[in-house]
Each structure stands twice: as structure tokens, then as C-alpha cells.
Chains A and B, each alone.
Chain A
Amino acid sequence: MRVLLVDDEKELVSTLAERLSFRGIDAKWAVCAAEALKLIETGQFDIAVLDVKLPKVGGFELKKKIQEKKPDMKFIFMTGHGSEDDFKAGSAQTGADYYLVKPVKIEALIEKMKKVLG
């Protein structure tokens, strides 16, 4: 499983990547859309975990841009705002496979990723 993590909080995203690698998951991270798109160009990913709020280019917009290049990519969104219920209702519009509310429990994240990737 190859994961791309995108969040503007470098400390958060780097730590999350490190913790995932402890569990044998190959995770790369980026703090903005531009970095994320660069990584997409060079590397192979199965799933992207995106923060909804990103500077300049937002999470939903980034998802569209990634999908243009990698149509098969799956997406999980993280948010510090609202509850999972809220986003369940909105998932049809945003096309996300899953939402997680920050702070994210690593076990929950892995479980969701596995679920999304089947």
C-alpha cells in the first residue's frame, strides 16, 4: 500500500508518515498541493489522504487535479472542522471515499485505507 499524505502542518504529516512506515506502509508526505502534485509525477500511489483545508489549492481541488493524472486513485479526507456525519452527507458531492476527523487515530486511518482499497 503506497500512501500520499497532504497536510499544511508539516509536523503532523511527517509524524503520521513515520508512524505509518513503522507499520510497514510506504507513506510520502507533502505540505501543499504543488508538492503533492510533484510527488504524484514521480512516484506511484494507491491512496491519497488529504486535509480539506490546504493553502492556495484546497483539498477538494487537489483531488480533482490528482484524478486528472491518476483516475484510479482513492481518497480519504481529514478535517479539523465538523463531524464525520457532516461529511458523510456531503461525500456524494466531493467524491471522497472517506472522512476522518482530526485528531486521527492511526489504527482508524489504516483500517479505513484498507477498507477503501478493498
Chain B
Amino acid sequence: MSLLEKIKPKFWDAEESEGLSDFRQLWYLTVLLTLEVTLAPLIFMTLADYNVTQKSVESEILLRTSRLVSNTRRSVSFFLDERRSALNFVVYDTPFSELNDPLGLASILENLKKSFGGFADIGVIDAQGRQKNYAGPYRLEGIDYSGQEWFREMVEHGNYISDVFMGFRQVPHLVIAVRCSLPDSCFYVLRAAVDTERFNDLLSQLEVSGQGDAFIINHEGILQTPSRYHGKVLEKISLSVPKFSEKTEVFEGRGAGAEDVIIGYAYIADSPFILMIVKKKNELMKSWQTTRMKIAGFLAVSITVILFVTLGVATYLINKIYVLEQNRASIMHGMEYSNKMASLGRLAAGVAHEINNPLAIINEKAGLVKDMFTFRKEYAKDEKLIGIVDVIVSSVERCAVIARRLLNFARHIDVNVQSLSLKEVIHEVLGFLGKEAEYRSISVSVSVPDDMPQIESDRGKLQEIFLNLINNAFAAMKDEGKLDISAKQENRDSVSVTFTDNGCGISEQNLSRIFEPFFSTKTKVGGTGLGLSITYGLVKKMGGDIRVKSEPGKGASFTVTLPIKADQKEKGEDIHASLIGG
């Protein structure tokens, strides 16, 4: 038997019939409706929660990135402002003559290095763009800057911060220059080179989550500081240069490897620099992905639990309804059956009674004729006439037996517990079926021990039980079959009668269902499936028990155990109760 067969509920294969609903359809309806009203809100809520959580995580990431960019911009601006202010201080504080003194300038450079750090060299350039004085590692006095772009810008704006460049030293650095006006409307410029190392440290010390990258580019997209993922200093980045904005901006875009990235940037005022922080979105969303897995897991577990509970509960309940409906239908059938029996009984009783009277007359008349033959001498010798009369009398006797049986049958509907002999009852029942057994050459043997006690029981019910069992045995057997009926005393309180046939037997799976109402293997040939269930009900009602043993092809054996003394309660209950009980 497959697993499916094992878990298949009883009602699954129940055929729709009069008075019995279509349980499979009912089951489908219950399961689908229940799943719909439980799963739909659950899935809807989970999806809604999923979306809300995802949105809030994303906006949190944007916010955090924006905050980081703003803070870093402040640091970078401060770094540049600090150095520019230092140069301004030098310009305004130091007499021009001292700036033109090489030793004085070297001393200023030394002071700047000590107090601010990052200064590599310093030079004084006159209004014509010629370097008048220089302190630093190179010999750069006399260089002419007048043709250079930065100098022109410088003259125009008053101060200047350059892009990062390699210069003579082949070390990335940037230049900060400030202008100082002289009384004769002339001016000079103090120009200092600043190592970008300090500048780089500012960014490299940043803790950027999500495998993030913080770097600075100029307006052309050339890297001014080293980048973890976007190239080396002075290389062009693969990302496009973000459009100008005075405020910090954060947006989502595509990274170099076409992955989703969060890009935060800020233009640094009074400088050619744009601060950029690029974070990988996937990395940032990792915590969200864990949550997402948890939500999915919760959903899967919930759905599974709901599914199992729904299936289980629906199956259990529908099965219960099925059993109840079966009982109800069986009761209805039982009542119908007992009503039918009662009508039949009344009819039989009426017929028997009506027949009895004319029979009695025939009997008496024939008796009288015989008497006349016997008592009057002139007919006494006529044996033929007496023979004829004897035949009439014996035929009347046969009719009377039939009428009596009909009356007995009629009494099935009334409960009448009396002391009776099992042997007698068995023979009475066989009397009904004797002809069939004869026609079909079925041999019936009855063995009841002589010391068998009388039992207190209802003759009609007992007849019905035996009649059903013998009828079943006859139905199971081919012609020339063999039926053994044997009775014995089981113990002080009970006796048993066993009906053993050598018919077709009962298969193992049918054996457990054989006493169920409406279970029949003979439905195609007019079986109601009620015979054995009624028998079972009757036996149970009488305080007895019925068991069956069978092997397919080897016949079946039904054993009815009956109490010797009837239960007091039993007396007076009617047959309806016994059928309902079955």
C-alpha cells in the first residue's frame, strides 16, 4: 500500500449518492477558502513589510553617506583654508624685505613646517611672474611664471589653489599661492608647495562602510588622491564628473564594474577639488539581505504551517462530517428498513391470519370427512378415500406451518426476550432457506451439543442475524458448497455460533470494512451494503459480539457470541434502537 493510500482519508473515494454530499468537493472548497483567507493577508503583509523595510534601509544608507561626505568636505576645506590662512598671515606679518632675504624665507618655511606641516617649499614671485626668492630643496630662483595659467588666475582672484601635479620632484603635490599688495599698487605673490600626503591621510583614515572609496578629483575627473578602486593619482576616473552643486549630493549610479553604487560628492569651495565617496550598494545592503532571508524564512515556515494545519483540520473535520453523515444515512436506512419490515410484518400477519381461518375450516371439514369414514362402518374399509383425506389434512398442515412462519416473521418487529434453544432457532432459519440449499446442492451441517444451555434472547432478532449470515454464506458460495454451523458454550455467561462456508472469502482490505454501513461488494448485483451492518448492530445490541476470519478463496467464518442471560435493559427496547445503534 503506497503512502498516498495510507494517508488518504475515508471520504476521498466515497461515491456521491442520495443523501451523501460530495465530500471531495467540500474538502477542496474548505482548503482553498481557508488558504485564501489565511495566506493572502500574510503574503500581502510580508510584501508590504519587505518594501517598507527596504526603502528605509536605502534611505538610511543615503543619509549616512551624505553625512560622511559633508563631514569630510569640512575637513578638506579646513585643511586647505588653514594653509592658505597661514600663508596670508606670513604675507601680512612679514616685511617684504625679509621675504626677499633667503635666510628669512628659509626660516619662515621651517616655522610653517613645524607649526602646520605639509609645506615642501616656499617662493616669492614679483608682479612680473619672476621668482625672486625661494626656500626649499630645489634651486628655483629666477623662474618665470608669468606665462602660466595659474599665475594669471592668481593675479585675478588674489589667491590660488592648484590641482595636484607631479612637478620637478615627481611627487604629487599642490600649490597654494596668496597675493600681497604693495603701497605702490604693485604686488607680489607668496607661493608654497604642499605635500598631498597629509591630504591623502585625511581621506585614507576615513572609515567608509560597504567597501567604500573616498577620493578627490578635479573638475576634469582626474584623481587628486589615491583611490582604492578607481585608479591612481592623476589618472582619470571611470565615473563621470558629477554636476556642480553647492550642497552635498548623494545619488545611486553604476560603478566601474556595472554594479550598483551609492555616490556622494561635494564641490570644495575656492578650490578645483570635488570630494567623492563611492560605496557598493550590495555591501551596504548585506544586513538588509540577512533580514530579507529571515522574512522569507518566516514566510516559508508560516505558509508550510498554515498549509499543514489547514489540510489537517479540513481533512479531520470533513472526515468527521463524513462519518456523521454516514451514520445519519445509515440510521435513515435503518428506519426505512425497519418500517419496511414492520409493514411487511403487518401484511404477513394479516395474510397469515386470514389464511388460518379458511385453513381451519378445510382442516375441520376434512377431519369430519375422515371421521365419517372412520366412525361409519360403510366407508371404513375404503382406504383410498381415507388416503385422499389424509393428503388434504397433511397439505393443510403444511399451509399452517407456512402461516406460522409468516406470523413469526411478523413478530420480528416486536422485542420479546424469551428463553430459547439455539438449535431450534437455527433449524427455523434453515427452514426458510432449505429449498435454496436443496436447489443449489449446498450441504448444510449443524452441530449443536446436547448439553447446550437455553439462552435468553429475542427470537426474531436472532433469526434475522442467522438469516443474514446464512444468506451471505450462500451468496459467497458456488453450487455444491458447504456450510457448517456449529454452536458451543464459550464460558459460564456466553455461547457462540460459528458459520463457516467454503465460498470466495473476503480480501484483507475488505475485512476491516465489512461491518461498515453501505460497504458492499455486491452493489452491482443489488446488495445494499446494510445486511452485515444491521447484523452487527443487532448482535451488539443484544450484548454480543461478532468476529470474522477469512482468506480469499478459502471461505469465511463468522462467529457470533451471545450472552446466555439477556441484559435487563435490553428487554423492551424496540428494533429501531438496535438499528440506530448499528
Contact = CB atoms under 8 A, between A and B. Distances in A.
B359 A18 contact: no
Interface string B362-399: 11110110011011000000000000000000001100
A9 interface: yes
B407 interface: yes
Contact of A81 (B363, B367, B400, B407): B407
A14 to B, nearest CB: 9
Contacts of A9: 357, 360-361
Interface residues of B, number: 27
B368 A18 contact: yes
Contacts, number: 67
B304 interface: no
A12 B418 contact: no
* Dominant secondary structure at the B interface: helix
B408 A12 contact: no
B368 A19 contact: yes
A5 B389 CA distance: 24
Contacts of A22: 371-372, 374-375
A86 B371 CA distance: 31
B362 to A, nearest CB: 8
B176 to A, nearest CB: 135
A103 B363 contact: yes
B396 A103 contact: yes
A102 interface: yes
A16 B364 contact: yes
Nearest to B365: A15
Interface in B321-370: 349, 352-353, 356-357, 359-365, 367-368
A60 to B, nearest CB: 17
Interface string A66-97: 00000000000000111101100100000000
B110 to A, nearest CB: 143
**Could you say which of A80, A83, A85 has the most chain B C-beta atoms within 10 Å of its C-beta?**
A80
B365 A102 contact: no
A13 to B, nearest CB: 9
Nearest to B403: A80
B404 interface: yes
Interface string A90-115: 00000000000111111000000000
Interface string B399-441: 0100010011001000010100000000000000000000000
A80 B371 contact: no
A89 B417 CA distance: 11
B418 A85 contact: yes
Contacts of B418: 85, 89
A106 B367 contact: yes
Contact of B367 (A19, A80, A89): A19
A47 to B, nearest CB: 18
Contacts of A89: 418
B364 A12 contact: yes
Interface string A6-38: 000101100110110011000000000000000
Contacts of B360: 9, 12, 80, 102-104
Contacts of A12: 357, 360-361, 364
Given A80-B353, A83-B407, A103 B400 contact: yes
A114 B327 CA distance: 57
A22 B512 CA distance: 67
Contacts of B400: 102-103
Contacts of B352: 80-81
A102 B397 CA distance: 10
A86 B368 CA distance: 29
Contact of A82 (B359, B375, B407): B407
Contact of A19 (B353, B361, B371): B371
Given A82-B407, A83-B408, A103-B360, A15 B353 contact: no
Given A83-B407, A85-B418, A102 B368 contact: no
Interface of A: 9, 11-12, 15-16, 18-19, 22-23, 80-83, 85-86, 89, 101-106
Given A81-B407, A102-B400, A103-B362, 14 more contacts: A9-B357, A12-B357, A12-B360, A15-B365, A15-B367, A18-B371, A80-B353, A83-B404, A89-B418, A102-B356, A103-B360, A103-B396, A103-B400, A106-B367
